[in-house]
Amino acid sequence: MFRLLIPIALLAAAILAIVGADRPTPRADFTFLNRSDVTTLDFQQMSWQQDNRVARIIAEGLVSNDIFSHDFSVLPAAAERWEISPDLRTYTFHLRDTGWSNGTPVRASDFLYAWMRALLPDVGADYINFVQHIKGGRAFSDWRTAAVADFSRQHAASPDPAAAQELWLQTKNKFNQLVSARAVNDRTIVIELERPTPYFLDIVGFVTFFPLCESVVRRYESLDPASGRIKWNPDWTKPPNFITNGPFFVESWRFKRDLRLRRNPYYWNQAAIGIDTISIPTVEDPVSAVMAFETGAVDWVSDVLAPFRTEMVAQKAAFYKEHRAEYESLKAQGLDPVEIDRRLPPDPRKNIHVFPAFGTYFWNFNCSRTLPDGRINPLADPRVRRALTLATDKHAIADGIRRVGENIAPALIPPGSIGQYQSPKGLGFNPDEARRLLAEAGYPGGKGFITLDLLITKDGGHELIAQTLAKDWQRILGINTTISVQEVKVFRERLKNKNYMISRASWFGDYGDPTTFLEINRTGDGNNDRAYSNPEFDALLDKAALESDPTARFRILEDAERLLVEQDLPLLPIFYYVNMYLFDASKLTGISSHPRGIQLLYRADLFNDGKGTDKPLSLPPRKPGEPES
Amino acid sequence: MLGLILRRLIQLPIILAVIYTLTLTLAWRIPGNPLENPEGRRPAPEVVAAMKAQYRLDSFWSFYWSYLDNASGIKFLRDTLSGRAAEQARAAEAAGLAPPARLVFDLGPSLQYRDQRVNDIIASALPVSMALGATAILIALVLGVVAGVAGAVKPNSFADFLTLAIALIGISLPTFVIGAALLLVFPVLLGWGRIPSWGRPVDLLLPAFTLSLPFAAYIARLTRLGMIEQLQSDYIRTARAKGLSETSVLFKHALKNAFLPVLSYLGPAAAYAMTGSFVVERVFVIPGMGQHFVNAVQNKDLFLIIGVVLIYASMLIIFNLIVDVLYRWADPRIE
């Protein structure tokens, strides 16, 4: 018997050793749960919201946004000022005196190094086309693609490190030659653009443009002698190697456990920071995320996805109802919803926050002339698409199925998200007009119409929405439908190959300009899953690109969106997404309710923690009569 | 005994090579592009082409051989023997670069977590799952054997039905229900324990208990069956006739033989428990292997899929070997 105890004791000791090696770190000043685990901390490769969110805490581009202003105005960041030429083609940025987290100064060349990296197809930047706004950017990428292909042909069988080194030097020279972004001196960058781009300031603040500490990051370059490609050894994003220029730096990254950030003492704007440490634990399960908040382990949950979130929203409505008089009077003052919640009495029910997001849920119509099986596609006729749209009861979906306070979407671009831009009215719910249009298209009462197939993915509640559409279209138009459920990867392939009739879809904007939603409908765009092509629409986008007056330009883009959502309907907008946050507004400030959805979490400040100014941050009150976003 | 161990260890790489071939063939057929996000923006075509070439995703055989070369340690050996590794290290140092990372068994990069190597992911996740799984198996052994013996002493008694009922609940209730209920009762309502449940030895109790239930139930049933059979055999009657105490009869004589089926079950069970449970790890927020099995397939993260499958296969083979060795030690009749 005793003999048996020895291995068990050894096993127990091993277990304790493993657990003990992973000791939890002490609570940070501010702890939050990101939507999901970060996939990469390489700014040039990022595209997920959770990655961008961390990037904006640890690094800073030339400019940033005022997240507590209604128009999300552009603010100086790593650049303290800039000049724009009258033809909107040349931008001159003057960098401020600020430091990397290792104490060395941020130089103009650090930005150019990062941008060159983004333009190399080898790096795999999802947003390579953002950097290709710079004149010569695309030419440089194309040159590199061809050069690497050449090299691979020559050296695939006989790897040659010296030749790979030579190609890399050549690439750096080519960048200086071709790309019109120059460091005039250590603190000045001059950029010439391919064409006038009125929203370039918004783009240059995007994470793909974030700088890298060249003197450190270049040490991780590694050349493949067989293909001539360059790779960065992934250790460069691991602390302590990871040097950044933002308000915080990465102190430790324990994969799938937590990411810990500490205040960067060399950052220029220390006054904006009210905390010293930030912790971002990994909690993938949506129910556990809510429970982690309930136990007080975290201060902010960025995306509440628990299945009972509809009840949480209903509870909050009940809370407002109980405090109706006070709530109404605060609301009448035009206060930001976060500020209203802060002033209302403490109650756990008020911790859920539903704010509009910068994204839209819609359904794609395949606009190709023929269907995948070769039949004529009735959806190629805009009248049919308009009829299907007019016969869709969006309220039944937003209020009956989703039930998290999303507004129905008559148009594509979320209202109030982009300064002075006004989306068109779009089409409402009008069964009579829908029937008339379908008859006009040659299918009275749905006679002779094909059976429509609705393509969806398994999770995310799309099936209920598909059933609602099917019911509406059957009842109003007499059209029969089937529903196909696919795995995400298969779904994406079928969309890409236009091998579908109608599918669920969504889009989130990347920058503060209507083109971030409209360009995906241009003929041949890589994200135009609808195969939609209307020369008139493309011409409007081209015309807007040449318009230098911002107001006139917005009017042209409004016309383009009107064409999309009132006439051609390549897509059927259903509702605008919301962000669902979980935090106690009377304990935490610094979370913006702006529909653009970008958070600068280094602004987070906990009340009465002995750090920071404890000044509540929120959008300024709207004057009476001003439209609500 | 030594022959058995040697034979199995020689078989191991051959079995792994076959499993690798099968897994890659299947995983390669998963539709979709691993370099593309499931939602939102598609990367530009030239970017996709460059990335595919970089990861050798453009040809099955090119991927097959290069992965085999890296993961089997052959490349490491070749580079070391030919002096190429030393040469590269010198060149890197001369150019002021960080020394290139060298792994004996290089399982490649993760396609979804681009800053991570599969080796690092497994190194950070496997010990966690093993600790959790081992604790769960220990708990399951104690619970299962006690319940099984209690049931066997008086078959069809109230105690027997009670253990049967509990065992049935343990097998049939999904762990995400038990896990969520335990979380709600202990950390949320009573304030005992924390979420994430990882980092302190006490934190291990709730998830290990949850994970142990199905195993405990199975062990209880196996023990009960074995005990009932043993308690009817002649040597037990002899032992009782000799006047041995009932405890001694039960635990020293009957259990020793009744335990053999449990032992053979323990091999695969331990491998299964220690390579991670997706649900338990997800609910209790434990950074183990379970999540990678599921997510890697969903994301078509080829390197990670093959990495976790090879690790699971190796553990299964090794645990079965340990069980076989223990078996011979416990039961000399087996040759």
pLDDT band for position A626 (50/70/90)? low
Asked if residue A348 has pLDDT above 50, the reply is: yes
Cis peptide, bond prior to residue B207, ω within 30 of zero: no
Cβ of residue B112 closer than 8 Å to a chain A Cβ:
yes
Closest-CA residue in chain A for B56?
A227
Q: Which of A284, A297, A492 sits opposite B38 (nearest CB)?
A: A492
Q: Is residue B281 part of a domain?
A: yes
Please list every residue in chain B whose beta carbon sits closer than 8 Å to the beta carbon of residue A141.
Answer: 46
SS (H, E, C) A135-193: CCHHHHHHHHHHHHHHHHHHHCCCCCHHHHHHHHHHHHHHHHHHCCEEEEECCEEEEEE
What domains are defined for chain A?
A: 1-34+247-346+586-629 (3.40.190.10), 41-237 (3.90.76.10), 356-577 (3.10.105.10)
Q: Which of B50, B97, B200 sits opposite A219 (nearest CB)?
A: B97
Q: Which of B39, B71, B94 is the last residue of a domain?
A: B94
Phi, psi of A182 (to 5 degrees): -125, 140
Helices A108-119, A161-178: axis angle to 10 degrees equals 110
Q: What is the pTM of this model?
A: 0.92
pLDDT score for B34: 86
Q: Which of A124, A237, A527 sits opposite B115 (nearest CB)?
A: A237
Q: Provide the 10 A C-beta neighbour count for residue A488.
A: 17
Helices B60-71, B302-330: axis angle to 10 degrees equals 50
Please list every residue in chain B whose beta carbon sits closer than 8 Å to the beta carbon of residue A222.
Answer: 92, 97, 100
pLDDT score for A628: 52
Q: Which of B73, B94, B115 is the last residue of a domain?
A: B94
B314 shares a domain with B273 = yes
pLDDT score for B159: 85
| Mean of pLDDT values over A421-438 | 96
* The most confident of A158-162, A585-589, B86-90, B128-132, by mean pLDDT: A585-589
Please list every residue in chain A whose beta carbon sits closer than 8 Å to the beta carbon of residue B117.
Answer: 234
Residue A359 C-alpha, separation from nearest chain B C-alpha, in angstroms? 10
Contact assignment for B46 to A121 by CB distance below 8 Å: yes
Element (H, E) at B268: helix B255-274
pLDDT band for position A4 (50/70/90)? low
pLDDT score for B35: 85
Helices B175-183, B205-231: axis angle to 10 degrees equals 130
Residue B141, phi-psi category: left (phi > 0), alpha (psi -120 to 50), beta (remainder) = alpha
pLDDT score for A582: 97
Element (H, E) at B292: helix B290-298
Asked if residue A623 has pLDDT above 80, the reply is: no
B233 shares a domain with B88 = no
CA distance B273 to B29: 28
Q: Which of A122, A124, A297 sits opposite B194 (nearest CB)?
A: A297
Selected residues 23-42 of chain A with any CB under 8 Å from a CB in chain B: 23-24, 37, 39-42
Q: Which of A430, A56, A45, A343 is nearest to B41 (CA)?
A: A45
For residue B17, what are the domain limits? 2-94
β-pairing verdict for A181-185 and A188-192: antiparallel
Selected residues 9-48 of chain B with any CB under 8 Å from a CB in chain A: 30-33, 35-47
Cβ of residue B233 closer than 8 Å to a chain A Cβ:
no
Based on C-alpha coordinates, what's the Rg of chain A? Answer: 27
Q: Is residue B194 part of a domain?
A: yes
B275 shares a domain with B139 = yes
Q: Is residue B21 part of a domain?
A: yes
B230 shares a domain with B142 = yes
Selected residues 270-309 of chain A with any CB under 8 Å from a CB in chain B: 281-285, 287-288, 291-292, 294-295, 297
Cβ of residue B114 closer than 8 Å to a chain A Cβ:
yes
Tally of domains in chain B: 2
B293 shares a domain with B193 = yes
pLDDT score for A625: 57
Contact assignment for B184 to A295 by CB distance below 8 Å: no
We report the CATH number of the domain holding residue B266 as 1.10.3720.10
CA angle A325, A327, A330 (to 5 degrees): 110
Please list every residue in chain B whose beta carbon sits closer than 8 Å to the beta carbon of residue A24.
Answer: 198-200
Cβ of residue A3 closer than 8 Å to a chain B Cβ:
no
Q: Which of B41, B101, B188 sits opposite A291 (nearest CB)?
A: B188
Q: Is residue B55 part of a domain?
A: yes
| Mean of pLDDT values over A567-591 | 97
DSSP secondary structure of A552-612: HHHHHHHHHHHIIIIII-SEEEEEEEEEEEE--TTTEE-----TT----GGG-EETTSSSS
| Mean of pLDDT values over A300-307 | 94
Q: Which of A575, A591, A542, A537 is nearest to A559 (CA)?
A: A537
Element (H, E) at A94: strand A90-95
pLDDT score for B243: 86
B203 shares a domain with B314 = yes
Instruction: Output the tens digit of pLDDT for each of chain B's 335 residues.
Output: 788 889 989 999 999 999 999 999 999 998 888 888 878 788 888 899 999 988 999 899 999 999 999 999 999 999 899 988 888 888 888 888 888 778 999 999 999 999 999 999 999 999 999 999 999 999 999 999 999 998 888 888 888 888 888 888 888 888 888 888 888 888 888 888 777 777 778 888 899 999 999 999 999 999 999 999 988 889 888 888 888 888 888 888 888 888 888 988 988 898 888 877 888 998 888 899 988 988 898 889 999 999 999 998 998 888 888 888 887 877 777 65
Contact A128, A121 (CB under 8 A): yes
pLDDT score for B268: 83
B140 shares a domain with B88 = no
pLDDT score for B323: 82
Q: For all residues of chain A together, what is the average pLDDT?
A: 94
B81 shares a domain with B138 = no
CA distance B320 to B130: 16
Q: In the beta sheet, which residues pair with residue A396?
A: none
Q: Which of A18, A292, A492 sits opposite B131 (nearest CB)?
A: A18
Q: Is residue B103 part of a domain?
A: no
Residue B42 C-alpha, separation from nearest chain A C-alpha, in angstroms? 6
Cβ of residue B135 closer than 8 Å to a chain A Cβ:
yes
B145 shares a domain with B45 = no
CA distance A78 to A114: 14
Residue B46 C-alpha, separation from nearest chain A C-alpha, in angstroms? 6
Q: How many residues does chain A have?
A: 629
Q: Which of B115, B188, B285 sits opposite A40 (nearest CB)?
A: B115
CA distance A237 to A310: 38
B216 shares a domain with B81 = no
pLDDT score for B184: 86
Please list every residue in chain B whose beta carbon sits closer than 8 Å to the beta carbon of residue A121.
Answer: 44, 46-47, 49-51
In a mutagenesis test of the B interface, which of A10, A171, A285 is the best target, namely the one with the most B β-carbons within 10 Å? Answer: A285
CA angle A235, A238, A240 (to 5 degrees): 110
Q: Is residue B321 part of a domain?
A: yes
pLDDT band for position A345 (50/70/90)? very high
Contact assignment for A47 to B284 by CB distance below 8 Å: no
B287 shares a domain with B208 = yes
| Mean of pLDDT values over A604-628 | 85
Cis peptide, bond prior to residue A573, ω within 30 of zero: no
- Please indicate whether residue B266 or residue A467 has the higher confidence score (pLDDT): A467
Instruction: Compute the count of residue pairs across chains A and B with CB atoms less than 8 Å apart.
Output: 202
Q: Which of B94, B115, B142 is the last residue of a domain?
A: B94
B217 shares a domain with B296 = yes
Residue A185 C-alpha, separation from nearest chain B C-alpha, in angstroms? 25
Q: Is residue B115 part of a domain?
A: no
Cβ of residue A607 closer than 8 Å to a chain B Cβ:
no
β-pairing verdict for A79-84 and A571-582: unpaired
DSSP secondary structure of A323-345: THHHHHHHHHTT--HHHHHHHSP
Contact A151, A164 (CB under 8 A): yes
Asked if residue A629 has pLDDT above 50, the reply is: no
CA distance A426 to A446: 24
Contact assignment for B35 to A141 by CB distance below 8 Å: no
Contact assignment for A229 to B53 by CB distance below 8 Å: yes
- Please indicate whether residue B293 or residue A2 has the higher confidence score (pLDDT): B293
Q: Is residue B227 part of a domain?
A: yes
Cβ of residue B113 closer than 8 Å to a chain A Cβ:
yes
Residue A148: both structure tokens together: 């690497």
Residue A9 C-alpha, separation from nearest chain B C-alpha, in angstroms? 11
Based on C-alpha coordinates, what's the Rg of chain B? Answer: 25
